[in-house]
Structure formats: structure tokens, C-alpha cells
Amino acid sequence: MKPQFSMHNGMENCDRSTVMSAYSDMILPQALVVSDAYKHGVWTDWVNPLFKRVILGGDFRYLGEYKTAFPLTPAIFTELAGK
């Protein structure tokens, strides 16, 4: 049985896709800690969380927090527009 993410049992032994999908459910500072622990850090890791939280959910605070950690590049806007 594949471990599932929950705020109570932590993220240990989760596969990459489980961790990546959990980013959208976390506040950005928390997601950054998990990202660092799992050695994720490329901008493509953040396209789906940005799409889910900002585009679909209208959470522009998440975008503001993202901008403090990463640059907003034309490539990320291209990927978001393609979703």
C-alpha cells in the first residue's frame, strides 16, 4: 500500500508524485521546507501548485510568497498558460 500524505503522519516514505501534489495543499513556506527536504527545487515543480492555488483558487497571496522565493520567468507563465 502506497503511503499517503497527511498533515498528521508527515511525508516520510512518500513518492515524488505524492509529495508534488501535496505542495498545493500547503502554505508556501511549508511547501518550501518539504521541497528542500526532498531536494526538489526546479521551477517546473511549482507549475501545478501555482496553477491550482493561484489560477483556479485565486490565492494571490500564494503567488506573492512564491515571488519572494523564486523569480517569475516567462517560462513559468508559458507553462501556466498551457494548462
Rounded Cα distance between 16 and 76, Å, is: 20
Q: 28-72: per-residue pLDDT in tens? A: 888 888 888 877 767 788 899 999 999 999 999 999 999 998 899
Over range 10-14, report the average pLDDT: 63
Residue 23 has pLDDT above 80, yes or no: yes
Rounded Cα distance between 51 and 36, Å, is: 21
The reply to whether 67 falls in a domain is yes
Q: What is the tally of structural domains in the chain?
A: 1
Question: For the chain, how far is it from start to end, CA to CA, in angstroms?
Answer: 31
Residue 2 has pLDDT above 50, yes or no: no
The reply to whether 55 falls in a domain is yes
The reply to whether 3 falls in a domain is no
C-alpha torsion sign, points 25, 29, 33, 38: positive
Residue-number span of the structural domain to which 26 is assigned = 16-81
Instruction: Measure CA 57 to chain center.
Output: 14
Helix (H, G, I), strand (E, B) or coil at 26: coil
